[in-house]
Amino acid sequence: MRENGTVTGGGASTAGGHVPVMLERVLDLLGPALTRPGAVAVDANLGLGGHAEALLAAHPSLHLIGIDRDATAIERSAARLAPYGERITLVHAVSDELPEVLRRTGHPRVDAVLFDLGVSSPQLDETERGFAYAHDAPLDMRMDRDQELTAEHVVNTYSAGELTRILREYGEERFASRIAGLIVRERRKAAITSTGRLVDIVRAAIPAATRRTGGNPAKRTFQALRIEVNGELAALERALPAALDALAVGGRIAVLAYHSLEDRLVKQALVARAKETGPPDLPIPIPAHQPSFRLITRGAELPGEEEIARNPRAASARLRAAERIREPVD
C-alpha cells in the first residue's frame, strides 16, 4: 500500500501535515545522487506526490518527472506540486513506459528513480473504485479508469482454471481452486458485480477454521484480482530494467514494495545487476562481467514500530535500493 498510506508527523512536512511511508529513509537513500546542479529524479508511481514534494523541497535545483497511470493522481499532484513550477514534469503513463517518457521529456539519463508500488490510499478510500473489500462497491479495481478490463470482467468471464491460477500466483491463496469453483457456480445464478457479493463468496469458500484467523479472508483474492486487472507484475518486470538502464553513474534507485511477489521481483532485478557474471575461476576479472550496481540496503528494510503505530498501512512496506557504480561494458 503506498502514499500513500500516509503517516502523520515527523520528517519533511507535506500537504496536510502528512508524510508518505518511510519518507526519511527514501530521502536518505536517494539524496547522495541528487546533489549536483540540474539533477533529475523520476517518481514512477506518483500517487499523491508526497515523496515527490519532499524530494523537491530537499533539493532546490532538482527537476522531477512524475509518472502515474491514474489520471486523478496526476491532477491532485499537479495541484500539490504547483509551487515548484517548471521544476516538475507530470506524465499520465504506466511505469513501464519509462523509456518513452524519458525520450519525450529530453532526459534519457537520470540521477534517481523511485518506485512506490501497489494501490494508493486514495484509491482504497474512494469506495466507488472497488479496491477495498471492507465496503460494498462496483467490482472495478482499475487504476487507469480509461482501460477496459475490470475485476467484474475477470470474475465473470475467466474460466475456473484461469481464476485458480490468478488467485494462486498473485494472491498466494491456498484455497484458490475452492474459491474459483464457487465463483463459477455463483455467477451462473447471476453476474457478480459488487465487492460485497464477492467477499461473501470467498468467505463461503474458505473453511470456517481458517476464516477465524488472519484478517479478512478476501484480502488475498482482492490482491490477486487487482494485480491481474492492472497487469502490475508484468509492468514492474519491464519497468525495473528500464529504470536501471536509465540511471547515470552515481544514480540511485529506491523501491517500496508491499507484498512478497513485488519484493521478490525487485530483489532479483537489483541483485542481478550487483553481482559479477563471469566464471568464478578467472585469474583476471573481465570488465564486461563486473557488476554495474551496488546494493545500498542490506536486504529489504522495514518501517519502524513508531511509523507502523501511526499508520498500520505501512506495516507491509519493504524498501530496497541500489546505486550505479559503472557503465555496462559490451
Residue ranges of the annotated binding site are 49-51, 68, 116, 123
As annotated, the binding site for S-adenosyl-L-methionine includes 49-51, 68, 116, 123
Contact 42, 67 (CB under 8 A): yes
Print burial letters for 254-272: b (CB count within 10 Å at least 16), e (below 16): bbbbbbebbbebbbebbee
Gyration radius from the chain CA atoms = 21
Contact 198, 223 (CB under 8 A): no
Contact 175, 210 (CB under 8 A): yes
For 260-325, give the DSSP string.
Answer: HHHHHHHHHHHHHHTS--S-TT-SS--GGGS-SEEE-SSS-B---HHHHHH-GGGTT-EEEEEEE-
Beta strand pairing status for 63-68 and 40-43?
A: parallel
